[in-house]
Homo-oligomer: A and B are copies of this chain.
Amino acid sequence: MIFNQYFYHPDLSSSVATLSTEESEHCCRALRHKVGDQVLLTDGKGCAATAVIMVDNPKACMVEIQEVQEKNDRHKWHLHLAIAPTKNIDRIEWLVEKCVEMGIERITFIHCDNSERPRINLDRMNRIAVSALKQCQTTWLPAMEFVPFKEFLEKTATWNADRYMAWCDDQNTRQFALESFQHEDIILLIGPEGDFSPAEVQLAREQGYAEVKLGNRRLRTETAGLYGCLTIATKSLE
């Protein structure tokens, strides 16, 4: 239903907004919205708004923002997923789409000693996230970044969060899905195909990361990421 279609505009504070080229295209060309049509916007920060199209230009659609609503579709627990991008980028793009559908707070792509991918196209990742946001009508767009593993540990060292590291060690029997959380924010580290290096594991341990298993099977990196995301989503229902 067209009326249920969200369009993304990061700022809903002003009374008039001009949608991005991409959103204007989608709104005025693909969905053929015309002047006077009412549409729904989200800022990706938890708010949705009704708006009326003033200029139906497919390159720069202008809308008048009417009622802005705070939608509460954030989970009780906020997952900050720190994951090493897979060699095959499709798998990470897929993960981003699914994480947005399921609901996630932040995604940090970490560059690890065993990473096979030196860089990632964050613009493309954001486009994928936005289209998933619109598709599943949620209002929460996760912040995304790409930083070296060590830097990530440093910048998050002072955060009030529960810290976990998915670590494929047969001795380890602690299950992430059975944890009870102490903080609202949960950081989950997931390593590259070649797993974390011993030095990285040591570093994380020193930062108070608890080693957990994601079930009892060997999961691909992106499946592990989704496992973490879905675990938080279902635990938030309890």
Q: Which residues of A contact B (CB under 8 A)?
A: 73, 94, 98, 101-103, 135-138, 175, 177-178, 215-220, 223, 226-227, 230-231, 233-234, 237-238
Contact = CB atoms under 8 A, between A and B. Distances in A.
A223 B98 contact: yes
A196 to B, nearest CB: 17
Given A102-B227, A177-B234, A234-B234, 15 more contacts: A94-B94, A101-B217, A101-B220, A102-B215, A102-B217, A103-B215, A103-B217, A135-B220, A136-B219, A175-B237, A177-B237, A178-B237, A178-B238, A215-B234, A226-B226
A201 to B, nearest CB: 19
Copies in the assembly, this chain: 2
6 contacts: A73-B217, A103-B215, A136-B220, A215-B237, A230-B230, A231-B234
Contact of A233 (B101, B215, B220, B237): B215
A230 B217 CA distance: 12
Nearest to A233: B215
A138 B217 contact: yes
Contacts of A237: 175, 177-178, 215-216
Given A230-B230, A237-B178, A238-B178, A219 B101 contact: yes
Given A234-B177, A234-B231, A137 B218 contact: yes
